Amino acid sequence: MPWFVRLVWKGGSREVRGLVDGNTFRLKKWNAWQWSPNFYGKWEADHSGTRIEGHFDLAPLVKWSLRLTLVVIMGLGVVGVVLNTLDLTAGTHFTVDPDIGLAISVFLMLFTIGLYLVAHWLGSRQDERLLGFLEQTLAASRIH
């Protein structure tokens, strides 16, 4: 759900949405943004009840879009660095101002790497509301 809809929409009492497939599942907060963590888990029968194992990570579509963005922007940054370096060293005239173009290309590459790392950190952090939902719904106890 887009962020601008979530600002005004007060629908439902559901806190969590998810996908169940066989003995695996994925949970996410109902009003979560794209870089919010998803809880991926699986359950299996155990001698004392049901055992649930899981981890936090980004949604598959978000992971692929981050990777694609990283590859495209890094490719454009490399082209910018090469063209601006040629302008500075060989005197070719591919760009108008190679000093500024080189700085912008390097900054663009560093910014994209930083955005990629921050998004992965945001998606893999623990979400206590999801864990609380699991504990309450399934009457489970957490083992750290």
Arithmetic mean of pLDDT, 13-19: 75
Output the six-digit token pair for 57: 């990570």
Asked whether 15 and 129 are in contact (CB, 8 A), the reply is: yes
Per-residue pLDDT band for 116 (boundaries 50, 70, 90) equals very high
pLDDT band for position 99 (50/70/90)?
confident
Tokens standing for 101?
């173009």
How many residues can be counted in the chain?
Answer: 144
DSSP string, 23-56: TEEEEEETT--TTS-EEEEEEEEETTEEEEEEEE
What letter does residue 21 receive in the DSSP assignment?
Answer: E
pLDDT of 76 higher than 90: yes
Q: What is the pLDDT of residue 93?
A: 77
User: Backbone phi, then psi, for 50, in 5-degree steps?
Assistant: -115, 130
Query: What pTM value is reported for the model?
Result: 0.70
Single-letter code of the amino acid located at 44: E
pLDDT at 35: 83
Domain boundaries in the chain? Answer: 16-58+125-138, 61-122
**pLDDT range class, residue 2, cuts 50, 70, 90:** low
- Report helix, strand or coil for 137: helix
* Token code pair at residue 46: 């155990």
